Copies of this chain bind each other. A is one copy, B any other.
Amino acid sequence: MSGHTTSLRLKLPLLCLLLQLLTIILFASFVRYNDQTSPKLWHKELELHNKSHLDHEFYIRYPSFQDVHTMIFVGFGFLMTFLKRYSFSSVAFNFLIAAFAIQWSILMQGFFHSFHQGKIYVGIESMINADFCAGAVLISFGAVLGKTSPVQLLLMTWLEVMLFACNEYILLNVLGAKDAGGSMTIHTFGAYFGLMTSRVLYRPHLDKSKERDGSTYHSDLFAMIGTIFLWLFWPSFNSAITAHGDDQQRTVMNTYFSLAASTLATFAASAFVNTGGKLDMVHIQNAALAGGVVVGTSGEMALTPFGAMIAGVLAGFISTLGFKFLTVGDLANCGGNVPFVTP
């Protein structure tokens, strides 16, 4: 797959097993089923509160969880297949680091957010939050795409998840910010962490791998699979852990309108800035998603449909222009990709 083959033969297996073993030991020590997942606790709750099985949080949250899960593994996985000689590695490494990130973040988020009497109690919301954290790692992955070995990626994941949980704790619990769709905790954090990692890992001899940065017609199509699935399920991403009822409905609707408006703005900006009015696939990929991020923090507010559209238009426009006129070193690639123009 990539270079460094001899050391990979041992390093990658050892690191995978070490991290997995550490995770298992910490899970055995600290992680327990919460009151909705443990048979004993749930049946007690059923009796005490005169509830029915259908009042289980699972039936409210599971469809949203599966949408988010699809975004993490299909959306991000295929979004980064556009580098023609790196497509398969992108999907595979995305799979590996997301699979580790969700386990590790259950622990780290648990220690910071739901540590009661020495235990972490997990349920469907823990799974959604773990997927969110994996999203931040994958945004950072985008910034170092094609420049790192799977060993480095696993180590980056290990570190980033810990810092993510810490940053999230400070923002949400200490400073009391609201950020249901994770614009700050997930997208901004992931982008900055990725840029930082990209500098730390920078090795001059890897520059010759630049020729791998081209795309082919088919790798662009694979990348559109990722784009579309991310775009589709963004309303679920922003609403997956908001309060029940009207809040969840409003977040979905605001995100839906913001994304739609952002798409038109992106196509407009992309055709305008490119020579000959050609559309640039990478603009489309990233900027169309800007509409989801921009209402991530404020999704449940009563933005009104036209307010969400205005936010989406601005996000799509600014993001595309930023992509065109700023370079990698800047914050242009908040979406996490190396910018280039499709043929």
A contact residues vs B (CB 8 Å cutoff): 1, 4-14, 16-17, 19-20, 23-24, 27-28, 31-33, 36-39, 42-43, 46, 53-60, 62-63, 66-67, 69-70, 73-74, 77-78, 81, 87-88, 91-92, 95-96, 99-100, 102-103, 106, 122-124, 127, 150, 217-218, 220-222, 224-225, 228-229, 231-233, 236, 243-250, 252-253, 256-257, 259-261, 263-265, 267-269, 271-272, 274, 276-279, 281, 284, 288, 302, 304-306, 309-310, 313, 342
Contact = CB atoms under 8 A, between A and B. Distances in A.
A91 to B, nearest CB: 5
A304 B34 CA distance: 11
19 contacts: A5-B278, A8-B271, A13-B271, A14-B268, A23-B309, A24-B310, A28-B306, A37-B246, A39-B247, A39-B302, A53-B246, A66-B233, A70-B232, A73-B232, A74-B228, A81-B221, A88-B281, A100-B264, A103-B261
B221 A92 contact: no
Contacts of A88: 217, 220-221, 224, 281, 342
- Majority SS of interface residues in chain A? helix
Contacts of A102: 256, 260
A5 to B, nearest CB: 4
A127 B305 CA distance: 12
A69 B232 contact: yes
